[in-house]
Structure 1
């Protein structure tokens, strides 16, 4: 951040302010955003978010601090540039708070001043009111005071962006969909496993032996398409083997007959 060359502030004050403003930029106070012209540190601007639970909620109020050449020995003067209905803020925007008057201390920094001003929006002090109407309503009829303050907030304050949880909901929904998808895959895998177990436990073929006229015959029932060829092949082999046995027996009978004929010769 470049040092200001404003003649209204001494060089040592400008140097100290540069450090403070850099710190405010890097670690801003909650609900406060500071802006400044690098060439003129005599006017500090800040946007203050209306604290939650107050009539100023959801509004952003712009203010400024005016620093004199005697700063920090004399306190800055504070003004609200945004119209606001508040006991300690005059209709011209001037801020009345003890920190900027009798309780001022040169060791107090800009951060402290800005936090005190924001605290005024949370806890006004009607005893030292600059806006008599607001101070009287606050003491006698808070609901009416709050209604006026909300009305001013809705009309004059900048609208703050609500802190949405859409991203979190989307992430939760995505996670839920992923879990459901995993559950579906798991169910499909379980069904496939059950089906595989059922197929593997089912015999490919069953045979039933019956006796008809002293001849054993087999009826084979095929289970499942892929096993049909295997069963058919088995039947063919059995038939071939039966034919071979019959041929051997016939050849044996012929040999026995020849042997008998040779004995006769």
Structure 2
């Protein structure tokens, strides 16, 4: 098992600084696993970029550093099976950044970003997987179908992401909805129930003092008129009695004249 003792102290110091930065501020779609006891193997999870056949998949990979790193490039391997022209069936990654274009000043962040970009734009001309390279050049739809199939079977599913403040926003929305519902219920309550009963007043007397529905609806309203209560009938009878008495008196006077 390799340990940090296989790397020069100055390289270990630089790697420790870079790995800490990667852990605190990872590149988009990349999460790095840090092992403080062994910097010679760097593990990372790479999310399949949107709009590619690798979307909705998370791929495990590793970078293996040699004892003379950074003078020689790391070797990259996909641990998750993937259908890609530049990744062999054993997982080895073929990209110029890890070969002839390597520069000791390039850091791990740059290498990881290049590997993820390889999922966006493959290079079939330097294919390690000849089947995938040929299919990409001749029939992209068939290539994409194979790549999606591998992604669905072998890749991990990405964890759901929550926007900042989403929980508090949802709680606020629920409270607002409840408040609006309470206001609607109060507005829909009948007028008679909204008025409190006075001390010693029964419900029937309270109803007669409420505004009749015929007045609320107005003329031509579809609301049916409420039947007259006993108290209203009594008041109508008292108003009619004096008029009847006057008619009776007039008739008596006419009879006396005859």
CA distance in 2, matches of 1:134, 1:201: 83
Structural mapping, 1:109-124, within 5 Å: 109-124=107-122
- The CA RMSD over aligned residues, in Å, is 3.7
Corresponding residue of 2:177:
177
| Aligned 8 A contact 2:3 2:40 in 1 | no
| Aligned 8 A contact 2:192 2:210 in 1 | no
Distance 1:20 1:186, change over 3 A: farther
In terms of mean alpha carbon deviation, does 182-191 or 66-75 score higher? 182-191
Gaps of 5+ in 1: 214-265
Gaps of 5+ in 2: 197-205, 213-231, 247-258
Q: CA deviation at 1:35?
A: 0.8
Is the strand fraction higher in 1 or 2?
A: 1
Corresponding residue of 1:132:
130
**SS of alignment partner, residue 6 of structure 2:** coil
Taking structure 1 as the reference length, what is the TM-score of the superposition? 0.66
Structure 2 residue 76 is the aligned partner of structure 1 residue 75: no
| Aligned 8 A contact 2:45 2:61 in 1 | yes
**SS of alignment partner, residue 63 of structure 1:** strand
Q: CA deviation at 1:72?
A: 1.5
In terms of mean alpha carbon deviation, does 112-121 or 179-188 score higher? 179-188
Distance 1:187 1:59, change over 3 A: same
2:31 to 30, 33, 58: 33
Larger radius of gyration: 1
CA distance in 2, matches of 1:189, 1:34: 64
CA distance in 2, matches of 1:126, 1:187: 69
Distance 1:170 1:190, change over 3 A: farther
Q: CA deviation at 1:104?
A: 1.7
Corresponding residue of 1:104:
102
Structural mapping, 1:77-226, within 5 Å: 77-163=75-161, 174=174, 177-178=177-178, 179-188=180-189, 199=209
Q: CA deviation at 1:172?
A: 8.3
Q: CA deviation at 1:52?
A: 1.8
Distance 1:157 1:168, change over 3 A: farther
Distance 1:189 1:111, change over 3 A: farther
**SS of alignment partner, residue 60 of structure 2:** strand
| Aligned 8 A contact 1:58 1:162 in 2 | no
Q: CA deviation at 1:37?
A: 1.8
Corresponding residue of 1:15:
13
CA distance in 2, matches of 1:145, 1:5: 40
Distance 1:65 1:155, change over 3 A: same
CA distance in 2, matches of 1:158, 1:164: 19
Q: CA deviation at 1:47?
A: 0.9
**SS of alignment partner, residue 41 of structure 1:** coil
